[in-house]
A and B are shown apart, each in its own frame.
Chain A
């Protein structure tokens, strides 16, 4: 997984080791620290998080390198997240 930010003429690439993040431990950490902070996810359980992460890894096997999110602001700043 890779995050690419283009802002003010600068390019930043942030590689993320997918399988180190999207695993049981990652699900536990997300459940403990991320879920309570996000209103729309407040009812998500550990089992749901884990299933979602498994789905993410499965999707990555088939669609590796696909842009997952592509945001381009009116002033030209760009953020892309690649699977």
Chain B
């Protein structure tokens, strides 16, 4: 999926745990300008790109590159997030236009599995009945993140499991 510059800037700022005010202060612009960049209402000045890249510990090329990011990635140990901060998204797009997003904190999923409960969102969904959630979590423990499961049923429903 193509990611806009604004979305990239937002994701990078969140990743670095910075506020818009802090970023604005460091770059010498107003917080409103930072907000506009992140909402894709405007773009940062070309002269600011090196500073932005340096602030977020990335390159200008990576900021402007529109190549789609891989849907699944294995993170090295030092880049992995704490399990408490991770979320398991179960996304169901039904053929009749209904959209269901269940965002389960990973710690809650693990607790449920530890006490021997099956998740009705997975076990009760005919498209996901054969998914072994414990194995999915094992992969997550080893650093795998992204879209781990995608199932398209015969009636056009699409179910995805994404870990972030």
Interface residues of A (CB under 8 A from B): 40, 44, 47-48, 51-52, 54-56, 58-59, 61-63, 66-74, 83
B105 lies within 8 A of A48 (CB): no
How far, in angstroms, from A68 to B114 measured CA to CA in the complex? 20
Contacts of B108 in A (CB 8 A): 52, 55-56, 59
Interface residues of B (CB under 8 A from A): 82, 84-85, 87, 96-105, 107-108, 110-112, 114-118, 120, 123-124
Contacts of B105 in A (CB 8 A): 59, 62-63, 66, 83
**A62-B85, A74-B96 are known contacts. Are A52 and B112 too (CB-CB below 8 A)?**
yes
Contacts of A73 in B (CB 8 A): 97-98
How far, in angstroms, from A59 to B86 measured CA to CA in the complex? 10
B117 lies within 8 A of A70 (CB): no
Tell me the nearest residue of chain B to A49, going by C-beta. Answer: B115
**Residue picked from A66, A67, A68, most chain B C-beta under 10 Å:** A68
B87 lies within 8 A of A52 (CB): no
